[in-house]
Amino acid sequence: MNIRSATILIIVSILTVSSILFYGLSVRDQVDIFQSEFEKYMDLTVESLTFGIEFSLKEENYEALYQSVYYTQSQEDVVVSAIIYHDDSTSSIDVSLPEGFNETHSYIKNHIINNTLLIESDTIYSLRDFEAGGVNGSVLVGFTTENIRGRIAESSFWTFIRLIIFVVIGVVIAYIFSNSIVGPINKLIQVSKGVGSGNLEIRADINKGGKDIKVLSTTFNSMLDKLDILQRQRVDELSSWNKTLEDKNEQIISSIRYASTIQNAILPSKSQFESLNLNSFIIYKPKDIVSGDFFWIDKFNDKTIVIVADCTGHGVPGAMISLMGNMILNDIIIKDRITNPSEILHKLDKELIRSLSQESEESFSSDGMDIGVVVIDKSNESLEYSGAMRPLYIVQNKKLTEIKGSKYHVGGLTRTGRIKTFENHKLEILNNQKFYLSSDGLVDQMGTSGKKLGSKKLKNELRNLSLDISIQEESLMKMFNEHIGNEDQRDDITLIGFEIL
């Protein structure tokens, strides 16, 4: 409920109570009028009749009694007046009574008790005891209520006029109150709402109302002026901070871009695959500027080695581990001359644990990588594979074979303390074989349907590809783009396909 509604409710309540009070006053005035008129007629009549009785008995002149009776009967509103004696001592007094009085007297005598009233139609009858000149009796008076009711109606009319005047005064007071107090307060409320919505330019320009309202308006505007100044200061400070952050961010992004240039420089190119008699395609999509995925290829001792690794995390942390892994692989294969896939993984695991200080459980870290290693021995027409959490897919004549890797990651201690094993798989190289190594970024990518692409869909796509492997990239990227839609890329993506020439 707003202030104006509350004000109206209060005024209506006051008017309602006032109306009830005026009604009570009206009823009280009517009772007062009735009682006053009744007492006036009764006193006048009793006084006149008792005087006539006393004078008549004293002077033995009953003409005075007749005159008093006639006098009272002639008064306005008096219907009947008579003397009713309680003994027979005055029965000789012959008083002329109004026509039909005997019947009226008999009826009243049977229905009225001393000092009480009898109301019949528009007439009120009353008896009052008296004692005058040794005579006991009652004075009977009958009054018509017509004129009394007229006076009561007149009183009600003026009561109604007073009520109307009071209502008009109440409405005028309400209007003045609404304009001088409620109006300014409502304006302050509207200004407060505007400030709450962010408009600090608005001001409470209030010229009406009392001194307190004007002081409140001035204070409120002063507060808004100070708040506006503080806001401008904060905006300037935030602008300065934003500029500093933008500069720092640009420096960081620039450094990361340069790191990406370095990372891409150490990754093999497609021409290197071709120089090693491999027909291939490379899908390499970092989630951020730099990637936690990397791939490695080289030829040593007449053996061609192809590796795809998926390091923990992505972005800068993943890129740091990928660079470390690349350097360790160079040492293992070129310096230490190890070409057995499972031995490469064991050595890589050991060196990563040492480099990342993961030897003790107290410094437990799960950082490492999932990796697949293929060693091609063209002279013996054989191929060896060992993987850590990553499979090798082989497709021949639309038939797909999956060689799963071990259930251990490279790097980091196992939670159970078990010794890691990386199994070696030796295969014969056959005609029309195509080989695929990947990170898990592709199959784990969420699509517009809310589901991952999944390994099943990827394997079906690879199985049904009849294109030359060098142009399969376009078909696979089309599948990926249709799946991802407008969703954000979740992880680094690497997929390498090759066939041995």
Backbone angles phi, psi at 14, to 5 degrees: -65, -45
Q: Cβ of 323: how many Cβ atoms within 10 Å?
A: 17
Residues 479 and 435 sit within 8 Å (Cβ to Cβ): no
Question: How would residue 393 be classed by pLDDT, with cut points 50, 70 and 90?
Answer: very high
**pLDDT for the residue numbered 41:** 66
* Torsion angle defined by CA atoms of residues 150, 153, 155 and 159, in that order, rounded to the nearest 10 degrees: -170
**pLDDT for the residue numbered 210:** 59
d(CA 149, CA 273): 125
**CATH architecture entry for 3-150:** 2-Layer Sandwich (3.30)
Q: Which CB contacts under 8 angstroms, 24+ apart, belong to 93-101?
A: 93/56, 93/62, 93/65, 94/62, 95/62, 95/65, 95/66, 95/69, 96/66, 96/69, 97/69, 98/73
For 394, the token pair is 């082989």
SS3 of 89, please? coil
Question: How would residue 466 be classed by pLDDT, with cut points 50, 70 and 90?
Answer: confident
The angle that helices 3-59 and 183-196 make with each other, rounded to 10 degrees, is 160
Q: What is the DSSP string of 279-310?
A: EEEEEEE-SSSS-SEEEEEEEETTEEEEEEEE
Question: How would residue 91 be classed by pLDDT, with cut points 50, 70 and 90?
Answer: very low
Span 395-419, average pLDDT = 89
Top pLDDT among 272 and 130 is at: 272
Question: How would residue 97 be classed by pLDDT, with cut points 50, 70 and 90?
Answer: very low
d(CA 96, CA 101): 10
The angle that helices 3-59 and 63-73 make with each other, rounded to 10 degrees, is 160
Model confidence, pTM: 0.58
**pLDDT for the residue numbered 361:** 65
Q: Which CB contacts under 8 angstroms, 24+ apart, belong to 17-20?
A: 18/163, 18/166, 18/170, 19/163
* Torsion angle defined by CA atoms of residues 9, 11, 15 and 18, in that order, rounded to the nearest 10 degrees: 110
Backbone angles phi, psi at 179, to 5 degrees: -75, -30
Residues 436 and 497 sit within 8 Å (Cβ to Cβ): yes
**pLDDT for the residue numbered 10:** 65
Mark out the alpha helices in 60-131 (DSSP H runs).
63-73, 101-111
Residue 325's closest CA among 363, 293, 286?
A: 293
pLDDT, the chain, mean: 78
**pLDDT for the residue numbered 160:** 74
SS3 of 447, please? coil
Three-point CA angle 477, 478, 483, nearest 5°: 95
State the first-to-last Cα distance of the chain, in angstroms, to the nearest integer: 86
Top pLDDT among 98 and 457 is at: 457
Q: Is the pLDDT of residue 42 over 80?
A: no
Question: How would residue 88 be classed by pLDDT, with cut points 50, 70 and 90?
Answer: very low
pLDDT tens profile 160-174: 787 778 777 776 776
Span 280-296, average pLDDT = 94
**pLDDT for the residue numbered 98:** 47
Q: What is the DSSP string of 449-474?
A: TSSB-HHHHHHHHHHH--S-GGGHHH
Q: How far is CA 114 from the centre of its chain?
A: 79
Residues 342 and 423 sit within 8 Å (Cβ to Cβ): yes
Span 456-466, average pLDDT = 92
For 364, the token pair is 């437990």
Question: How would residue 184 be classed by pLDDT, with cut points 50, 70 and 90?
Answer: low
Q: In what order do the strands lie in the sheet with 493-500?
A: 278-285, 493-500, 433-438, 392-396, 399-403
Question: How would residue 296 be classed by pLDDT, with cut points 50, 70 and 90?
Answer: very high
Number of separate helices (H) and strands (E) present in the chain? 11, 14
d(CA 59, CA 69): 17
Q: What is the DSSP string of 338-405?
A: ---HHHHHHHHHHHHHHHTT-SSGGG-----EEEEEEEEEGGGTEEEEEEEB--EEEEETTEEEEE--
**pLDDT for the residue numbered 483:** 95
**pLDDT for the residue numbered 334:** 92
Q: Residue 495 to residues 62, 288, 356, 444: CA-CA distances in angstroms?
A: 147, 17, 27, 13
Amino acid residing at 82: A
Question: How would residue 93 be classed by pLDDT, with cut points 50, 70 and 90?
Answer: very low
The angle that helices 315-330 and 341-355 make with each other, rounded to 10 degrees, is 120
pLDDT tens profile 319-373: 999 999 999 999 999 999 999 999 999 999 999 999 888 877 666 677 899 999 9
Three-point CA angle 275, 492, 361, nearest 5°: 105
Span 175-187, average pLDDT = 64
Q: Is the pLDDT of residue 253 over 50?
A: yes
CATH number, domain 269-500, options 2.40.50.140, 3.40.640.10, 3.60.40.10, 3.40.50.880: 3.60.40.10
